[in-house]
Amino acid sequence: MAEAISYISNLLLSGWSSLLDYLAAHVLLCLVPAFVIAGFMSSMIPKETITRYLGPKASKWISYPASALGGFILAVCSCTILPLFAGIWKRGAGLGPAITFLFVGPAVNILAITYTGATIGMNIAIARLVLSILFGIVIGLIMAWVFRKEESVREAEMEANGLFNETVRVKPAVWVLFLLLVSVLIVGTLQVDIFTNVYAHIKAPSGWSGGVGSFLSGMDLTLQGAVLILMLVVIGITSWKGFEKIFDGFTGWTYAALAFIALTILIAAPSEEAGSLVIGINGRLIGELVLLTVIAIIASRSFSKDELSGWIWETWKFVKQIFPLLIVGVFAAGIVKVIIPETWVRTIAGQNTIWANLVGVLFGVFMYFPTLVEVPIAKMFLDLGMARGPLLAYLLADPELSLQSILVLNGVMGKKKTAVYVSLVAVFSTLAGYLFGLFLTLFA
């Protein structure tokens, strides 16, 4: 009995430690802006500006890049992409561009890419971004060629109208603000001297080094990490009060939540050594402060309250859908890390072989995780000894080949098209992981 209690305690402690590390990490510098950008793109950039280029009459040089760009801009997860795919295909999009949109959408989600880079490494994030776009286009072209006769009949029976014929004008301020928001993300994550150099130091009161310092060390937290966790709690409360009924109008809670979000980014920007109570004022903090100030000015002067309300609501919706699952996923990954023997992972996927990469793909099929939750799971397997090739294969396959997605696609496209699509994704993901592993070996 005592052994069982001790084992369970170790599991819970591992999960709790993983969660604390996650919440206190500089990953917030990518995650918080990414949520804001995803909400901005969803509310401010009309879907018609992208989907109208996907029709069967559009040039392939336009439709396929547009479908890949649409998947990125719409910033949707694998569960959301399915109805969007079904909708645009049924309304007249070519099979090839629609398949590209289906593949690229969840794979290059702005949230997933930035979180992957911050958690696992930029080489994996860049490979995931580039290969997802490349494979999405190639798989779309192959699907269009394989089923060209069926598609010709379908296109002859349909007229591209509605969504694909609409012209939607996006005001310049939208693109300016979009670039500024992306700049916040870049400044927060890019490791270059101008951002990482420390220009001044702020030291916590000497009295803190005893009680507060000892407490934080016992929790394996820095002062900055502890403050960030507190800020997330404050943001959760104020956002719930200020964003849940945002269309009823801005309140004091709304402005407070927006201020705390900006403040959290600023708190996460300075450098701090582990276990230290000394904060370094670096170029990252200065850059973020300037960008956030400019964003606030442009947003208040160039957009109406209704437009801002839509932006806030879409961001809040993403947070409610994804962040709780992230918390559960990170906690569960910490527990599973203790349960699964490291030798198992090293034996099955510790080397960059075709079999190991195929195992990564199969894991993505049978162990589906919601958007972003696959990242801490992948990090867990990386820590346990999984090679980076199979890890990339898993990250490419997970958003595309869950059992739920396969069943839905079977109902939308039919068994034959679904079987070909699933086979292509499995083959391309396996080869991508294998070739990526070889690349790392050659240039290590």
407-432 pLDDT, tens digit per residue, is: 777 877 888 998 999 899 889 889 88
- Tell whether 30 is covered by a domain: no
Predicted pLDDT at 85: 74
CA distance 178 to 200: 31
- Tell whether 200 is covered by a domain: yes
**Average pLDDT rounded to a whole number, residues 331-359:** 76
Predicted pLDDT at 160: 47
139 or 2, which is more confident: 139
Residue finishing a domain among 294, 321, 348: 321
Q: Which domain holds residue 159?
A: 44-164
**Beta pairing, strands 278-282 & 198-203:** antiparallel
Predicted pLDDT at 129: 84
- Report residue 323 CA to chain centroid gap: 11
Residue 54 CB coordination number (10 Å): 27
- Report residue 385 CA to chain centroid gap: 23
CA distance 102 to 136: 8
- Tell whether 330 is covered by a domain: no
In Å, how far are 53, 120, 229, 378 from 226, measured between CA atoms?
47, 22, 5, 25
- Tell whether 78 is covered by a domain: yes
Predicted pLDDT at 89: 72
Could you tell me if 225 and 291 lie in one domain? yes
**Average pLDDT rounded to a whole number, residues 229-235:** 88
Phi and psi of 371, rounded to 5°?
Answer: -50, 135
Could you tell me if 368 and 437 lie in one domain? yes
**Average pLDDT rounded to a whole number, residues 7-24:** 73
Predicted pLDDT at 297: 95
Predicted pLDDT at 187: 84
- Tell whether 37 is covered by a domain: no
- Tell whether 8 is covered by a domain: no
How many domains are contained in the chain?
A: 3
Could you tell me if 88 and 228 lie in one domain? no
The Cβ-side half-sphere exposure at 79, using a 13 Å CA radius, reads 9
CA distance 78 to 404: 10
Residue finishing a domain among 123, 145, 164: 164
**Average pLDDT rounded to a whole number, residues 299-320:** 90
Predicted pLDDT at 393: 87
Could you tell me if 301 and 212 lie in one domain? yes
Could you tell me if 146 and 68 lie in one domain? yes
Least confident among 18-32, 131-145, 205-219, 302-316: 205-219
Could you tell me if 186 and 295 lie in one domain? yes
- Tell whether 20 is covered by a domain: no
Could you tell me if 256 and 304 lie in one domain? yes
Could you tell me if 317 and 343 lie in one domain? no
- Give the rounded percent of residues in the chain with a pLDDT score beyond 90: 15
Could you tell me if 182 and 275 lie in one domain? yes
Tell me: pLDDT of 67 over 50. Answer: yes
For the entire predicted model, the pTM comes to: 0.69
Residue 153 exposed, middle or buried by CB count within 10 Å (0-12, 13-18, 19+): exposed
Residue finishing a domain among 164, 197, 227: 164
Least confident among 30-34, 192-196, 224-228, 273-277: 273-277
Could you tell me if 128 and 199 lie in one domain? no
Predicted pLDDT at 372: 64
- Tell whether 204 is covered by a domain: yes
Could you tell me if 191 and 300 lie in one domain? yes
SS3 per residue for 340-385? CCHHHHHHHHCCCCHHHHHHHHHHHHHCCCCCCCHHHHHHHHHHCC
Could you tell me if 203 and 115 lie in one domain? no
Full DSSP string of 58-121: S-HHHHHHHHHHHHHHHT--HHHHHHHHHHHHHTT--HHHHHHHHHHHHHT-HHHHHHHHHHT-
Predicted pLDDT at 51: 58
Least confident among 93-97, 338-342, 383-387: 338-342
Tell me: pLDDT of 98 over 80. Answer: yes
Tell me: pLDDT of 133 over 70. Answer: yes
